[in-house]
Structure 1
Amino acid sequence: MPAKQRPVTVSLEPPSDSPLAEGIRGVAAGKSDELSGFHLLDDGLSAFVARAVLIEEATVSLDLKYYIYEDDNVGHLLTSLLLRAADRGVRVRLLVDDLGTRVVNPWILALDRHPNMQIRVFNPVGGRSGFRRALEQAANFGRINHRMHNKLLLADGLAMITGGRNIADGYFSRSSVEFLDVDVLAVGEALPQARKVFDEYWNHLVSVQVTELLLDEDDTHTLDELRKRTRKLLADEQDSEFARALKQSKMAAALADGDIPFQWGKARLLADPPEKALGKDDIPRDEYPGVQLEKILHGATERLKITAAYFIPGVIGTELFTGLEKQGVKVGILTNSLSSNDVAIVHGAYARYRKRLLAAGVDLWELRTQAGEERRKQWFHGESKATLHAKTFVIDHNLGFVGSINLDGRSLLQNTEIGLLMDNAEINQQLNSLFTEWVAPDSAWSVQLLDSGNLAWRAEDKDGDTLIKHREPETHWWQRTLAWLLGWLPVESQI
């Protein structure tokens, strides 16, 4: 779509007298203004509850930007809470990516008509569906190849959640596919950084007001009807796992009372400039979070533990990790197995680097499809297939990173990303403990290089007996063949 100057809005001044403000002021008492507080959200249910609580506690503003915002149960629930917030006078700004979030629902127009709600779409094409959308995508591939992969929620400019989770059932343990993921709830000095980043994206020329897109407007979709729909949805959900968790949660009271166990330290929000979406070559590479992270990783002296849903190290990354091993840094990496990966070409490209990494002493694990099943059953019935979606870094014993950045060419060069670097030993240890849990033999396959030069995958069954596989576990021959063939395509920067 052609660039068009749109009304500029900026973050509102945080309140000083709300329960949320008073609670954060209490928990930050005695802390330096230069520090931020961190609280990890490492399971789907607590991550949902944290978002719902922040939305319900907000009194001034809510700013959200997400790659994926699905029209499913979780999407409906959070949208209902956003509408209720807008009805009580909270200004809501929602920015979604055009590729990750197909904005075709006419209810969206009803939401955007609300005087306290604004919805914008990042880097869209003109067509909403069908043949026209396909033509627009083909004609504008150079531009739309750059996606907003960010995940960020800001409540009153006082508290934020960022990390790996999009807004969809699978990220919050309500799907046949269970995404293992991590977010961080943060307060303090990181918030001005986050407000600035959000405003830059919101006011950028590629962020288009939803009313400028060609949606099928239906005049019968009014705000009053949407409110009735919201009330019915919330009533129907009263007995769901999410409603029970929200009722039993003490997070709202804990936030108001200053009882959330925040860990405190220096924080640095790493975020791509929105101009990256235009594919400009004049943006200094030092502004890319992936490049900034690479420099930080070079400084590791003892240990480096990485979880990456998509891991394609390339020549540069392979040299980085093997070089760290030579310097005495213990490097461990968890990524998806072929059976838990949802993109065969990604696994095929990653697989080309396994032997070199293993030969240098790097530890590699690949997630098993049943990972996390027991923890999920605490709240949800039925089985699910696990897939890794987390992007975390444990660096030595003091630094931890949680964000949206995968270690592949698309994250580093094409998409816009975000994440929080935290200087705190306890957060570092919590992320390390989570890594250890996820690479346990009942959760992940340990990939090993045999003397013969072949690979083997080692794990344990539910009885603790050793399992050894000599080809990609839990896969069919055609999956392995497809991944191998796709992995040799010269498109690493695009995947």
Structure 2
Amino acid sequence: MSLHRLAAAALVLLLSACATLSPQEADRAAAIAAAARPAVLDCDAADACAQPSPLRQLAGRAFAESTPEQPRHYALILDRGTDALLARVNLIRSATTAIDLQTYIFDEDDAGRLVLDELLAAARRGVRVRLLMDQLSALQNVATLAALAGAHENFRVRLYNPVLRRARISYPQYVVAAACCWRQLNQRMHTKLLLVDGAVGITGGRNYQDTYYDWDDEYNFRDRDLLVAGPVARVMAADFETFWTDPRSVPPARLVDVGHALLEGGVPVLPPHVFERPERAAAMRADAADAALVRARLAEAAIPVGGVRYISDTPEKHHGDHPLQLAVASDSLRGLIESADEQVLLQTPYLVLSDAAQDMFAQLHERPDAPRIIVSTNSLAATDAFIAYALSYKYKRRYLREFGFNIYEYKPFPADAPVDLAATGAFLPDYEPEPEPPPTRPPDRDSVLRSARYRQPLGSEYGATRYLRRRANEPVPLKRAGVRIGMHAKSLVIDDRIGVVGTHNFDPRGDRYNTESAVVIEDPEFAAALEASIRRDISPANSWVIAPRDKAPVLWGLEYSLAKASEYLPIFDLWPVRYATSYEYVPGPACPEPLPPDHPRFRECYRPVGDFPEVNPALKGLPTRLFTAFGAGLAPIL
């Protein structure tokens, strides 16, 4: 292509990215959407024909048992993806007056459309429904947003912080946005909340996409949500209202692409979704209507607790020049960690710590009676964020020696995960034993045939850099095929007394750019249940242990010093040997149970399996080490 053609193409791109919608046009587009909204209802009952729900009944019990001095709540940990989806559909159907849904990602796949259809059905039976999505990860099609803008009088949609005043931006437009509006591009709404009737809410790590509900046949997240019923829902409602009424939350009709679509063609009809696996969606709908099943599978496991705190950043974090001063969630979580006397159990998908967090953990480790810090996170084989792992890999020595972490990295094929592999729809062939040498761990009987497809970047909660291409923010190729599982849960347990489930990855993005939220419960029974869930994740069946390598027979001290000096370089961290590597538990008569990595007999019961176990050998070395060497500057946006 000639230089003139390149310049012309660049000019067309710039003009398309900078296209505008005048205030008058925005008003006309909004009027078109408003005029198209039907007001007819499918139900004339006072309760909007709400479906009785054992989960909704938990809220009634909580409010009845509460006093201003002694509030009562019911808390339910949602570990399994299918349970999390079942709870959402069941609660949406139980709504009598209002549903507020706030999320970072809302996809148009089977899980996303199933929930969207339920929200629309609720609006048509008389429930006020408000859907607030972050712009970068909202529904993919402009036509879908245009249809929803005029779907029903009871249904409203807004997009948070739209870059370039558009609902959707393409990769080229993203480049323009990065050049002109880098700070706004990174300021995302990572808060997640489903609130029904201002009485019961669900928050945690899950977005609205197949991968969060065990519905993807290649890659699913091991995630965690928390359902809370009781008075704290009023705090959640006030927080949602703050986001909804903020000027950064914009109706799609007032954005360039959706506005022009409405002006040119009116409100389109939202076509019915063609489900990839319609029988699975039908089964979920049927289960959500089965009160006995919902009670037995979910409601009966709810834990009665007393006071509950909901901590959340507000949009004010994005208004000022000093976001760290408005990072309510980050400050609250650090305060909880600093209060630890004996143990901190932390789970995060991306072990990239902000400077403030590093200072805090260093000070904790210097205490004479320093608490044990146990960290559950992703391995390179399991993660969906390749660059974030590379930065975690860079600082393993610091995490182990200077912070005293016990680190457990999640396996891509965990043997005992709370994941419904049958729900993925993947073909599960009979396992055939590998030829000699024999397998180094129990066979993965849930392996599937190799697939060349990879998830699109929309599925990655990876800030601005998720718009990079595949190798930056998608799972790396492995040695073998299978339904891969990646850690996405964000949780914290302090001293067997405080449990936290939220959206914060304990990373620089959460401190500086994202709005985050979390539920904090000070209750020994709840803390024990949450700890048991995390300890299952770090068991040998599901995680490798990170520990120091065996010392070199000669010049070990010199090697260590050179590696440490290289680590502190912001770039050109090229030292080839890292301080730590991955270990696998080897049970036996002398090793009847797993040991922590700082136990004197650790090496008798564990064997090293290399820096990046399970990763395809072609991808093991150069890319990760390159980002380790040159990627430290990306840490604030990871």
Q: Which residue of 2 aligns with 1:321?
A: 361
- Note the C-alpha offset of 1:466: 6.0
Alignment of 1:15-414 (within 5 A): 19=52, 24-33=59-68, 34-113=71-150, 114-125=152-163, 126-127=165-166, 128-130=168-170, 131-132=172-173, 134-175=175-216, 176-213=218-255, 214-215=257-258, 216-217=261-262, 219=265, 222=268, 226=271, 229=272, 236-237=278-279, 242-243=284-285, 245-246=287-288, 250=292, 261-278=302-319, 280-282=320-322, 285=325, 287-325=327-365, 326=367, 327-360=369-402, 361-371=404-414, 372=416, 375-377=419-421, 379-382=423-426, 383-414=482-513
Question: Structure 1's 380 and 421: CA in aligned 2 closer, same or farther, altered over 3 A?
Answer: same
- Note the C-alpha offset of 1:162: 0.2
User: Over alpha carbons, which structure has the higher Rg?
Assistant: 2
Provide the C-alpha distance between the structure 1 equivalents of 2:550 and 2:277, rounded to a whole number of angstroms.
Answer: 61
Report which stretch shifted further, 260-269 or 116-125.
260-269
Provide the C-alpha distance between the structure 2 equivalents of 1:96 and 1:336, rounded to a whole number of angstroms.
Answer: 26
Structure with the higher strand share, 1 or 2: 1
Q: Which residue of 1 aligns with 2:610?
A: 470
CA RMSD of aligned residues (A): 3.4
Task: Establish whether residue 493 from structure 1 lines up as the match of residue 533 from structure 2.
Answer: no
Match for 2:636: what amino acid?
S
Task: Establish whether residue 459 from structure 1 lines up as the match of residue 549 from structure 2.
Answer: no
- Give me the TM-score of the superposition, normalised by structure 1: 0.87
Question: Structure 1's 329 and 473: CA in aligned 2 closer, same or farther, altered over 3 A?
Answer: same
Question: Structure 1's 75 and 294: CA in aligned 2 closer, same or farther, altered over 3 A?
Answer: same
Q: Which residue of 2 aligns with 1:415?
A: 514
Provide the C-alpha distance between the structure 2 equivalents of 1:374 and 1:283, rounded to a whole number of angstroms.
Answer: 36
Match for 1:412: what amino acid?
D
Report which stretch shifted further, 265-274 or 247-256.
247-256
Provide the C-alpha distance between the structure 2 equivalents of 1:179 and 1:73, rounded to a whole number of angstroms.
Answer: 16
- Note the C-alpha offset of 1:328: 3.0
Deviations 1:63-93 (A, max 9, x none): 0010000010001100110111011010110
Question: Structure 1's 333 and 249: CA in aligned 2 closer, same or farther, altered over 3 A?
Answer: farther
What SS class does the counterpart of residue 137 from structure 2 fall into?
coil
Match for 2:361: what amino acid?
F
- Contact 2:417–2:537 (CA<8 Å) still a contact in 1? no
What SS class does the counterpart of residue 625 from structure 2 fall into?
helix
- Contact 1:367–1:443 (CA<8 Å) still a contact in 2? yes
Match for 1:121: what amino acid?
L
Provide the C-alpha distance between the structure 2 equivalents of 1:199 and 1:415, rounded to a whole number of angstroms.
Answer: 18
Provide the C-alpha distance between the structure 1 equivalents of 2:204 and 2:337, rounded to a whole number of angstroms.
Answer: 19
- Give me the TM-score of the superposition, normalised by structure 2: 0.69
Question: Structure 1's 397 and 101: CA in aligned 2 closer, same or farther, altered over 3 A?
Answer: same
Provide the C-alpha distance between the structure 2 equivalents of 1:493 and 1:2, rounded to a whole number of angstroms.
Answer: 33
- Contact 1:441–1:458 (CA<8 Å) still a contact in 2? no
Provide the C-alpha distance between the structure 1 equivalents of 2:185 and 2:388, rounded to a whole number of angstroms.
Answer: 20
Report which stretch shifted further, 264-273 or 49-58.
264-273
Structure 1 alignment gaps of length 5 or more: 8-13
Q: Which residue of 1 aligns with 2:452?
A: none
- Note the C-alpha offset of 1:32: 3.5
Provide the C-alpha distance between the structure 1 equivalents of 2:58 and 2:296, rounded to a whole number of angstroms.
Answer: 8
Identity percentage over the alignment?
25
Q: Which residue of 1 aligns with 2:4?
A: none
Task: Establish whether residue 484 from structure 1 lines up as the match of residue 587 from structure 2.
Answer: no
Deviations 1:330-368 (A, max 9, x none): 110011111112222211211222112222532001111
Match for 2:625: what amino acid?
W
Deviations 1:185-227 (A, max 9, x none): 011121111011100000000101011121244858655x65x
Report which stretch shifted further, 426-435 or 338-347.
338-347
Task: Establish whether residue 431 from structure 1 lines up as the match of residue 530 from structure 2.
Answer: yes
- Contact 2:48–2:125 (CA<8 Å) still a contact in 1? no
- Note the C-alpha offset of 1:156: 0.8
- Contact 2:75–2:303 (CA<8 Å) still a contact in 1? yes
Report which stretch shifted further, 339-348 or 195-204.
339-348
- Contact 1:39–1:263 (CA<8 Å) still a contact in 2? no
- Note the C-alpha offset of 1:302: 1.2
- Contact 2:59–2:74 (CA<8 Å) still a contact in 1? no
Provide the C-alpha distance between the structure 2 equivalents of 1:195 and 1:374, rounded to a whole number of angstroms.
Answer: 30
